[in-house]
Amino acid sequence: MSMLAQFKPAIILLAVFTILTGLIYPVAITSIAQLIFPYQANGSLIDQNGQVVGSVLIGQHFDDPKYFWGRPSATAPFPYNAAASQGANLGPTNPILVKAVQKRIEELRAADPQNTDPIPVDLVTASGSGLDPDISLAAALYQIPRVARERGLSQAQLRLLVEQHTEGRQFGFLGETRVNVLELNLALDKMRSDSTVP
């Protein structure tokens, strides 16, 4: 009898908290999020012509010279794999990391041999998550000569486009000035298609 008396409140509390924290709380938070922040609650998805093309929160792999390239990704088995968010976990003196960075430098130089400016570090090193959707303003500006040449656009046009897609520090003091690569490339495609319309 005494064991049953002790188990009864434990079972009742388990049932109550399962309903509260497993059902009521998630439904309430999801409902509030959908009501107040539907865009963010649904993954900050970018819709183009009725089709989802990505999220502003997860990077995408661009290696075509006519696009701005994002930060390298260390996720496996393919870049920007949201199901396997991870960094390389290699120290700055690790020969594997040094070799990977050197390869990325060579790829950037091969894509734009005329550009002798220093390469911003975020174009050759992966982020801790491997999913970083943004690059620094310096990384975007570095790529302008290549993209302008490949697209037949002026560098001034691209600087203006980059400026329009530059986000400041969060709350004015957190993080760094950044550019979302997917949004910039989509705007670049739109700018090109708009300019070809008679």
User: Which pLDDT tens digit goes with each residue over 16-48?
Assistant: 999 999 999 999 999 999 999 998 898 899 988
Residue 180: which domain range? 45-196
Residues 15 and 106 in one domain: no
86: left (phi over 0), alpha (psi -120 to 50) or beta: beta
152: left (phi over 0), alpha (psi -120 to 50) or beta: left
The reported pTM is: 0.80
pLDDT in tens, 60-100: 999 999 999 999 998 888 889 888 888 778 888 899 999 99
Q: What is the spatial distance between Cα 72 and Cα 61, in angstroms, rounded to a whole number?
A: 8
Tell me which amino acid residue 91 is: G
Write out the two tokens for 98: 């040094």
Residues 33 and 60 in one domain: no
Residues 102 and 154 in one domain: yes
Residues 4 and 98 in one domain: no
Tell me which amino acid residue 95 is: P
Contact of 164 with 53, CB cutoff 8 Å: no
pLDDT of residue 198: 37
Q: What is the spatial distance between Cα 125 and Cα 50, in angstroms, rounded to a whole number?
A: 34
Domains in the chain, number? 2
pLDDT above 60: residue 195: no
Residues 66 and 10 in one domain: no
Residues 52 and 38 in one domain: no
Residues 94 and 21 in one domain: no
Report residue 193's pLDDT band, with 50, 70 and 90 as the boundaries.
low
Residues 183 and 90 in one domain: yes
Buried b (16+ CB within 10 A) or exposed e, 153-187: beeeebeebbeebbeeeeeeeeeeebbbbbbbbbe
pLDDT in tens, 132-170: 999 999 999 999 999 999 999 999 999 999 999 999 888
Tell me which amino acid residue 83 is: A
